[in-house]
Homo-oligomer: A and B are copies of this chain.
Amino acid sequence: MLNRFDIDDTLRALAEPTRRAIVDRLARGPASVSDLAAPFDMSLAAVVQHLQVLEECGIVASEKVGRVRTCRLEPGGLKRLGDWVAERRLLAERRLDRLGELLAGALPEEQRRPAAKDARPKRKKTSTQSKKEK
């Protein structure tokens, strides 16, 4: 229920320099829409649109009082992204750890193939292996 925000929206929101600059500004404290718009060389309407995007994915919250809308960072927004990143890093790192143990453990110095699913006959062709990347 509380997770009506998904990571896709979050990442798309932050994949934009202007919106990231807004986040940077808001990390230092709340601000009005006009304050947020001031540094940018674009229309106020454009900044409002950016704010809508940030709000729809839960990174920013705002509240209107009188004619002024005050925006602030919503802590949960960045947390969700941080968690997403941490998850993947952990997964990949643990995999590497296991691989390391495997390598340290029981391997002769024989040339090792990357965890082949099926054993393929190593027809070693000693000739030039052109590794042109790119």
Contact = CB atoms under 8 A, between A and B. Distances in A.
Given A15-B15, A132-B43, A91 B34 contact: no
Range of interface residues on chain A?
35 or more
Contact of A92 (B31, B32, B75, B81): B75
Contacts of A34: 130
A8 B17 CA distance: 7
Contact of A42 (B8, B44, B130, B132): B132
A112 interface: no
A12 to B, nearest CB: 4
A84 to B, nearest CB: 9
A31 B70 CA distance: 48
A31 to B, nearest CB: 6
Contact of A11 (B15, B115, B124): B15
B78 A28 contact: no
A48 to B, nearest CB: 12
A102 to B, nearest CB: 12
A11 B18 CA distance: 13
